[in-house]
Structure formats: C-alpha cells, structure tokens
Amino acid sequence: MNAEIVSIGTELLLGEINDTNATWIAQQLKDIGVNLFYRSTVGDNEARITAVLKLAMSRADIVITTGGLGPTVDDMTRQGVASAVGQPLEFHEDLMREIEAKFARFNAKMTPNNRLQAMLPQGATVIDNPVGTAPSFRCDMPDGAIISLPGVPREMKFLMENSVLPWLRERAGTSIIKLRVLRTAAAGESWVGSSLPI
C-alpha cells in the first residue's frame, strides 16, 4: 500500500509554521508498513488543492490531508476534496448538532460560519472527532481513499491513533518497512558511503 501526505495551509508554505504533522504521520505509516513516496504542501487555494489531490490520487492508494477543515474562508480542504473526487458538498444536519453541542460543552460562542464544518463531500464517511470541532472524513474510491484530518496536532494525532491507523492496518496486512540506522563519529559521509557494501 502506497500513501501520500498532503499538508494544506498557506502558513506552511510561508514558513510561519513547521509542518510537524507530516513528519509524525510519516513515522506512523512507516511503523505499520505503508510506503510513503511523496509529501506535498499546498496553500489555501481551492483550485491548487484540487490539482494536488488529483495528482496524489494518481500515484498513491491512500492520500492523507491535514489542515483546512476549520470554519474560515481560507479553510478549503472540503471543497478541494469534493472537486478532486467529483462529488458535491452536502450538509449534514447530525454533524451540525454535534458541533453545536461541542460549543455548548466548551462554553464557547458558535458563529454562523461554523455551518461550513458540517459540509462534507457527498458519500464521505465521517471520522468522529471528540477532541475538537472539525469533523474529519474519508472518501472511499474503487482504487483508494482520501482521508482528511484537522491541522491541529492534538486532534490529528488522536484521530490517527484511534481511527485512521486501525483502519489502515486492516488494509495494509502484515507489511513491514525495515530501517537500519548507522551512527558514526569523525567519519565523513563520502568515506562512510564508499566503505559500506551496496
């Protein structure tokens, strides 16, 4: 099974935030034997998100996105995924009720733009997010899936550990990726490289 990580957010491209999410996800995929051949980063632009996702879908079985699931105008992951899989966005009344309940539980004021978070690509499977307000989702296709997770690291890690990784393990089987780490001192890279058997 091959995967690609797509990190979404202009703040990542501008270097305002380090992309620790992609590094952490890559480590988890390695541990369950899922190959990662590409990592992409795209800004908050629907057309570019769609294009990057289509490219990722052409070369990976599983595409995992992080970021862009909030309620603001620059949160365009839902729209980009919907365009990439050729499905319209649809409103989920049950998700809206859950979001309202979370805001009430957090004693926070909900604004009208939170309604956007209850919009998902038609046919998407909801990934329940008990630790935040951004509903996550998975779009299954005949030859793979797109999994969209929040950019907030605490939420992303919780959903990966409790929902995404168990789902991936079932599909990846018993594959493993072996690594060997060599630690050297007072030896240059060229000498070490020429001394190792290929």
Helix H, strand E, coil C: the string for the chain is CEEEEEEECHHHHCCCCCCHHHHHHHHHHHHCCCEEEEEEEECCCHHHHHHHHHHHHHHCCEEEEECCCCCCCCCCHHHHHHHHHCCCEEECHHHHHHHHHHHHHCCCCCCHHHHHHHEEECCCEEECCCCCCCCEEEEEECCEEEEEECCCHHHHHHHHHHHHHHHHHHHHCCCCCCCCCCCCCCCCHHHHHHHCCC
Average pLDDT (79-87) is 97
Supply the mean pLDDT for the chain. 91
Task: Give 93-101 contacts, CB < 8 A, sequence gap 24+.
Answer: 93/118, 95/120, 95/126, 95/135, 98/135, 99/133, 99/135
For residue 38, the model assigns a pLDDT of: 97
Q: How far apart are CA 24 and CA 153, in angstroms?
A: 9
Task: Give the bridge partners for 63, in sequence order.
Answer: 4, 146
Q: Which residue has the higher pLDDT, 117 or 51?
A: 51
Residue the block writes with tokens 């060997």: 180
Does the pLDDT at position 53 exceed 80? yes
Of the candidates 120, 145, 130, the one whose C-alpha atom is nearest the C-alpha of residue 1 is 145
For residue 185, the model assigns a pLDDT of: 74
Number of domains in the chain: 1
For residue 178, the model assigns a pLDDT of: 61
Rounded to two decimals, what is the model's pTM? 0.88
Amino acid at 46: E
Does the pLDDT at position 192 exceed 80? no
CATH number, domain at 147? 3.40.980.10
Backbone φ and ψ of 35, nearest 5°: -70, 140
For residue 27, the model assigns a pLDDT of: 96
Average pLDDT (143-160) is 96
For residue 46, the model assigns a pLDDT of: 96
Amino acid at 155: E
Containing structural domain, residue 66: 2-195
Amino acid at 151: G
pLDDT band at 180 (very low <50, low <70, confident <90, very high): low
Q: How far apart are CA 125 and CA 147, in angstroms?
A: 9
